[in-house]
Amino acid sequence: MPSHGTPSTTELTASVALPDSLSHAYGYWTKLTPPDAKGPLFGDFHLDELEPQIVPWSVLVDVIPDPLDFKYRFWGTERSKLIGAELTGLTTSAIPTTVMREANFREYADVFARAKPLLCHTPVTTKSGRHAIFQSIRLPLFDDKDRISRIFSAINYNRIDEANYEFYGTKTGTY
Protein backbone atom coordinates (compact mmCIF):
# COMPACT_ATOMS: atom_id res chain seq x y z
CA MET A 1 0.00 0.00 0.00
CA PRO A 2 1.34 3.51 -0.82
CA SER A 3 2.32 5.53 2.22
CA HIS A 4 3.67 8.91 3.32
CA GLY A 5 6.86 9.27 5.27
CA THR A 6 7.41 11.98 7.85
CA PRO A 7 6.87 15.33 6.13
CA SER A 8 9.00 18.34 6.93
CA THR A 9 8.22 22.02 6.61
CA THR A 10 10.42 25.09 6.56
CA GLU A 11 9.20 28.63 7.03
CA LEU A 12 10.13 30.57 3.93
CA THR A 13 12.37 33.60 4.27
CA ALA A 14 14.70 35.35 1.86
CA SER A 15 17.55 33.09 3.04
CA VAL A 16 15.81 29.82 2.09
CA ALA A 17 17.01 28.53 -1.27
CA LEU A 18 14.13 27.55 -3.53
CA PRO A 19 14.23 25.64 -6.79
CA ASP A 20 13.67 27.77 -9.88
CA SER A 21 10.23 26.25 -10.43
CA LEU A 22 9.01 27.70 -7.10
CA SER A 23 11.13 30.83 -6.65
CA HIS A 24 9.11 33.06 -8.98
CA ALA A 25 5.82 32.30 -7.19
CA TYR A 26 7.38 33.04 -3.80
CA GLY A 27 9.02 36.20 -5.20
CA TYR A 28 5.65 37.35 -6.55
CA TRP A 29 4.00 36.67 -3.16
CA THR A 30 6.79 38.61 -1.40
CA LYS A 31 6.51 41.53 -3.82
CA LEU A 32 2.78 41.80 -3.11
CA THR A 33 3.25 41.72 0.67
CA PRO A 34 2.98 45.23 2.14
CA PRO A 35 5.62 46.31 4.69
CA ASP A 36 4.81 44.96 8.17
CA ALA A 37 2.09 42.65 6.79
CA LYS A 38 2.08 38.85 7.16
CA GLY A 39 1.37 38.42 3.45
CA PRO A 40 -0.56 39.86 0.53
CA LEU A 41 -4.28 40.39 0.24
CA PHE A 42 -6.04 37.68 -1.72
CA GLY A 43 -7.49 40.31 -4.10
CA ASP A 44 -3.97 41.36 -5.11
CA PHE A 45 -2.81 37.82 -5.97
CA HIS A 46 -3.52 36.80 -9.58
CA LEU A 47 -2.72 33.38 -11.03
CA ASP A 48 -2.27 34.93 -14.48
CA GLU A 49 0.67 36.97 -13.16
CA LEU A 50 2.63 33.83 -12.24
CA GLU A 51 5.00 32.10 -14.64
CA PRO A 52 2.79 30.06 -16.99
CA GLN A 53 4.67 26.80 -16.27
CA ILE A 54 3.69 26.79 -12.57
CA VAL A 55 -0.06 27.39 -12.96
CA PRO A 56 -0.97 23.84 -14.11
CA TRP A 57 0.90 22.51 -11.04
CA SER A 58 -0.87 24.94 -8.68
CA VAL A 59 -3.78 24.80 -6.26
CA LEU A 60 -5.75 27.55 -4.56
CA VAL A 61 -7.84 26.70 -1.50
CA ASP A 62 -10.45 28.69 0.41
CA VAL A 63 -10.05 28.49 4.17
CA ILE A 64 -13.15 27.37 6.06
CA PRO A 65 -12.32 28.44 9.63
CA ASP A 66 -14.93 26.64 11.74
CA PRO A 67 -14.61 23.74 11.72
CA LEU A 68 -11.26 24.11 9.99
CA ASP A 69 -11.25 22.74 6.44
CA PHE A 70 -10.03 23.80 3.01
CA LYS A 71 -12.03 23.93 -0.22
CA TYR A 72 -10.28 23.65 -3.57
CA ARG A 73 -11.09 26.79 -5.54
CA PHE A 74 -8.57 26.02 -8.31
CA TRP A 75 -6.89 22.70 -9.15
CA GLY A 76 -4.27 22.79 -11.93
CA THR A 77 -4.48 20.45 -14.90
CA GLU A 78 -1.09 18.82 -14.28
CA ARG A 79 -2.14 18.07 -10.71
CA SER A 80 -5.21 16.31 -12.14
CA LYS A 81 -2.97 14.23 -14.39
CA LEU A 82 -0.69 13.42 -11.47
CA ILE A 83 -3.38 12.18 -9.08
CA GLY A 84 -5.92 11.04 -11.69
CA ALA A 85 -8.70 13.29 -10.40
CA GLU A 86 -9.99 16.86 -10.53
CA LEU A 87 -10.61 18.24 -7.04
CA THR A 88 -12.01 21.73 -7.73
CA GLY A 89 -14.99 22.29 -5.45
CA LEU A 90 -14.10 19.52 -2.97
CA THR A 91 -12.91 20.07 0.58
CA THR A 92 -9.87 18.33 2.02
CA SER A 93 -12.20 16.42 4.34
CA ALA A 94 -13.97 15.00 1.26
CA ILE A 95 -10.82 13.57 -0.37
CA PRO A 96 -11.54 9.83 -0.57
CA THR A 97 -7.92 8.71 -0.10
CA THR A 98 -7.00 8.80 3.59
CA VAL A 99 -3.27 9.30 3.02
CA MET A 100 -3.80 12.25 0.66
CA ARG A 101 -6.61 13.74 2.78
CA GLU A 102 -4.50 13.70 5.95
CA ALA A 103 -1.33 15.02 4.29
CA ASN A 104 -3.12 17.89 2.54
CA PHE A 105 -5.08 18.87 5.63
CA ARG A 106 -1.94 18.77 7.82
CA GLU A 107 0.07 21.04 5.50
CA TYR A 108 -2.73 23.58 4.95
CA ALA A 109 -3.53 23.60 8.69
CA ASP A 110 0.16 24.24 9.40
CA VAL A 111 0.13 27.31 7.14
CA PHE A 112 -3.10 28.48 8.76
CA ALA A 113 -1.72 28.07 12.29
CA ARG A 114 1.64 29.70 11.60
CA ALA A 115 0.37 32.39 9.19
CA LYS A 116 3.67 31.99 7.33
CA PRO A 117 4.67 30.74 3.89
CA LEU A 118 6.04 27.20 4.02
CA LEU A 119 8.24 24.93 1.95
CA CYS A 120 6.97 21.36 2.37
CA HIS A 121 8.79 18.09 1.68
CA THR A 122 6.52 15.06 1.73
CA PRO A 123 8.28 11.71 1.23
CA VAL A 124 6.18 8.85 -0.12
CA THR A 125 6.62 5.16 -0.87
CA THR A 126 4.79 3.51 -3.75
CA LYS A 127 3.15 0.06 -3.66
CA SER A 128 6.26 -1.35 -5.34
CA GLY A 129 8.57 0.21 -2.72
CA ARG A 130 9.88 3.13 -4.79
CA HIS A 131 10.56 6.34 -2.93
CA ALA A 132 9.67 9.84 -4.09
CA ILE A 133 9.37 13.30 -2.59
CA PHE A 134 6.72 15.91 -3.25
CA GLN A 135 8.18 19.37 -2.71
CA SER A 136 5.75 22.27 -2.60
CA ILE A 137 5.22 25.78 -1.34
CA ARG A 138 2.15 26.89 0.60
CA LEU A 139 1.57 30.65 0.62
CA PRO A 140 -1.09 32.29 2.85
CA LEU A 141 -3.30 34.99 1.37
CA PHE A 142 -5.17 37.38 3.63
CA ASP A 143 -8.48 39.21 3.69
CA ASP A 144 -8.88 42.87 4.65
CA LYS A 145 -9.22 41.88 8.33
CA ASP A 146 -5.75 40.23 8.37
CA ARG A 147 -7.21 36.70 8.40
CA ILE A 148 -5.96 33.93 6.12
CA SER A 149 -8.76 33.45 3.62
CA ARG A 150 -6.94 31.47 0.91
CA ILE A 151 -3.76 29.45 0.52
CA PHE A 152 -1.87 29.14 -2.76
CA SER A 153 0.13 25.97 -3.31
CA ALA A 154 2.47 24.91 -6.08
CA ILE A 155 4.49 21.76 -6.54
CA ASN A 156 8.09 21.62 -7.74
CA TYR A 157 7.29 20.07 -11.11
CA ASN A 158 10.98 19.54 -11.89
CA ARG A 159 11.08 16.85 -9.17
CA ILE A 160 8.06 14.96 -10.44
CA ASP A 161 9.04 11.64 -12.02
CA GLU A 162 7.54 8.21 -12.68
CA ALA A 163 7.65 7.27 -8.98
CA ASN A 164 5.47 10.27 -8.10
CA TYR A 165 2.89 9.16 -10.68
CA GLU A 166 3.16 5.56 -9.50
CA PHE A 167 2.28 6.70 -5.98
CA TYR A 168 -1.15 7.76 -7.27
CA GLY A 169 -1.47 4.89 -9.73
CA THR A 170 -1.26 7.18 -12.75
CA LYS A 171 1.12 7.52 -15.67
CA THR A 172 2.99 10.56 -16.94
CA GLY A 173 0.85 12.80 -19.14
CA THR A 174 -2.45 10.91 -18.82
CA TYR A 175 -5.77 11.81 -17.29
pLDDT at 138 over 80: yes
Domains and CATH numbers, the chain: 3-168 (3.30.450.20)
Q: What's the whole-number mean pLDDT along residues 1-20?
A: 76
DSSP 4: E
Residues 54-85: tens digit of each pLDDT: 999 999 999 999 999 999 999 999 999 998 98
pLDDT at 1 over 60: no
- Residues forming a β-bridge with 140: 151
Are the CB atoms for 69 and 76 separated by under 8 Å? Answer: no
Are the CB atoms for 45 and 55 separated by under 8 Å? Answer: no
Q: What's the whole-number mean pLDDT along residues 139-166?
A: 94
Residues 79-113: tens digit of each pLDDT: 999 989 899 999 999 988 887 888 889 999 999 99
pLDDT at 45 over 90: yes
